[in-house]
Amino acid sequence: MIKKIGVIGAGTMGHGIAESFAMFGYNVNLYDTNAAQLEKALNEIKAEQQLLVEEAFISAEKAAATMENISIHTDLQTAVKDRDYVIEAAPENMELKQNLFKQLDGFCPAHTILASNTSSLSLEPMMALVSEARKQRMMVCHWYNPGHLMPLAELSFFGNMPADIYQQVADLYASINKQTVKVLKDVPGLVANRIQQGVAREAFSIIEQGIADPIDVDKALKFGPAFRYATTGQLEVADFGGLDIWCIVGDNLLPAMDNSTQANNLLRQKVAEGKLGIKSGEGFFRYDAEQLPAIRKRFAQKLIHQLKASEYYK
Ligand SMILES: NC(=O)c1ccc[n+]([C@@H]2O[C@H](COP(=O)([O-])OP(=O)(O)OC[C@H]3O[C@@H](n4cnc5c(N)ncnc54)[C@H](O)[C@@H]3O)[C@@H](O)[C@H]2O)c1
């Protein structure tokens, strides 16, 4: 049974992953090569826990216990030597991850399961430098940002790992209230990001063609398909509508839609102009720098409200 957790990399994803396990009582060792980043991560976790208390999602005692459950480390061996499950959220670089897994293979006990939170790298080459025995205990566990609020975790079951090891990890994620998706093939983007890119490609293309303004494109999604998607998946929606209708509409609409195989030109143009979104003050919309903390807080509050309303949240 998995009890002790190691998280490697304390950035955007790593701090949220550590926080999620700690919130549910797991002992977590959080490692980063940068000591200042570890302190920053602890402060972020504290602030995020505080918001959960403000929103009456957890008690102040639970927030305090979350902090107690996390210890920070700058020595990798100390951080992982007694861990049952170690997940890395280090930079998205194949060579870096290969070397990291080689080190983890050497430092961790034989039973430790190793995971990568990679968004785009294949598992097979990531395992190149680990022992044959460890290859049966390695997988991708892909989280969504912000990790402590988004319920999804995509877990790989690509054929290198016995079913009972996969089940241990699926049970671990169920115990921290995550909804797991079993991904059977090592394809870029796994499942959720592929679906999201399909939607994004058409949304960007609609803007590029001047079919609607950004505010209306987002409204069409939030109050149309996405309003249903929060409770009813695409395949259920297709079944409800009738596959015969989806077949006819698909034949009529798909030839008129964007099928490009690279990022949208309008997006590329905005990037070239320095319009990167909230981090630069403008993307599809404008953002007042002074309002940014409130905008970020509101984003988290809305996710907390959705979690509270979700029938899956225990
Ligand atoms: N940001 C997202 O929305 C998101 C979502 C899902 C998955 N991911 C994946 O998660 C991973 C981390 O992404 P992120 O956005 O958290 O990155 P990040 O840059 O915010 O954090 C990376 C952290 O790793 C640390 N680091 C650098 N070298 C290291 C090493 N050798 N060992 C340990 N730590 C090291 C850095 O100091 C930093 O704190 C990537 O593989 C990324 O593709 C990101």
pLDDT in tens, 22-36: 999 999 999 999 999
Mean pLDDT of the chain: 97
Residue 152 CA to residue 160 CA, distance in Å, equals 23
User: Is 304 close to ligand 1, i.e. is its CB under 6 Å away?
Assistant: no
Distance CA 41, CA 33 (A): 13
Residue 133 included in any domain: yes
The residue segments making up the domain with residue 276 are: 194-309
Residue 190 in contact with ligand 1 by CB distance below 6 A: no
**Best residue for ligand 1 mutational test, from 8, 19, 29, 33 (most atoms within 8 Å of Cβ):** 33
pLDDT of residue 30: 98
133 and 250 belong to one structural domain: no
Closest ligand 1 atom to 145 CA: 3
32 lines ligand 1 (CB under 6 A): yes
Q: Tell me, what DSSP letter sits at residue 89?
A: -
Chosen domain end from 183, 207, 225? 183
**Domain assignment of residue 188, yes or no:** no
Say if CB 74 and CB 57 are below 8 A apart.
no
Looking up residue 145, the CATH number of its domain turns out to be 3.40.50.720
Burial pattern 233-247, b for ≥16 Cβ within 10 A else e, equals: eeeeeeeeeeeeeee
- Residue 206 in tokens: 């609609």
Q: What is the pLDDT of residues 92-136, one digit of tens each?
A: 999 999 999 999 999 999 999 999 999 999 999 999 999 999 999
Same domain, 42 and 119: yes
**pTM for this entry:** 0.96
Q: What is the number of domains present in the chain?
A: 2
Tokens of 116: 């990568």
Q: Do 175 and 214 sit in the same domain of this protein?
A: no
Residue 10 CA: nearest ligand 1 atom is 39
151 and 38 within one domain: yes
Residues 216 and 134 in one domain: no
Helix (H) or strand (E) holding 5: strand 4-8
Cα 253 to averaged position of ligand 1 atoms, centre (Å): 39
Tens place of pLDDT per residue across the chain (314 aa): 999 999 999 999 999 999 999 999 999 999 999 999 999 999 999 999 999 999 999 999 999 999 999 999 999 999 999 999 999 999 999 999 999 999 999 999 999 999 999 999 999 999 999 999 999 999 999 999 999 999 999 999 999 999 999 999 999 999 999 999 999 999 999 999 999 999 999 999 999 999 999 999 999 999 999 999 999 999 999 999 999 999 999 999 999 999 999 999 999 999 999 999 999 999 999 999 999 999 999 999 999 999 999 877 76
Rounded to whole angstroms, how far apart are CA atoms 266 and 284? 10
Same domain, 57 and 90: yes
Q: Are 146 and 125 in the same domain?
A: yes
CATH label of the domain that carries residue 255: 1.10.1040.10
Judge if the beta carbon of residue 171 lies within 6 A of ligand 1. Answer: no
Judge if the beta carbon of residue 180 lies within 6 A of ligand 1: no
**C-alpha angle with apex 67: 65 to 68, nearest 5 degrees?**
60
89 CA → ligand 1 middle, Å:
4
Residue 314 domain-assigned (yes or no)? no
Say if residue 166 is in the same domain as residue 239: no
Ligand 1: nearest atom to the Cα of 120: 43
Asked whether residue 135 falls in the same domain as residue 18, the answer is: yes
User: How confident is the model at residue 314, as a pLDDT?
Assistant: 62
CB count in 10 Å sphere of residue 63: 20
Looking at residue 312, its pLDDT comes to: 73
Out of 159, 183, 207, a domain closes at 183
- The answer to whether residues 218 and 96 belong to one domain is no
Cβ–ligand 1 contact at 7 (below 6 Å): no
The pick from 117, 190, 196 for probing ligand 1's pocket by mutation, whose C-beta has the most ligand atoms within 8 angstroms, reads 117
Residue 13, ligand 1, Cβ within 6 A:
yes
Do 205 and 98 belong to one domain?
no
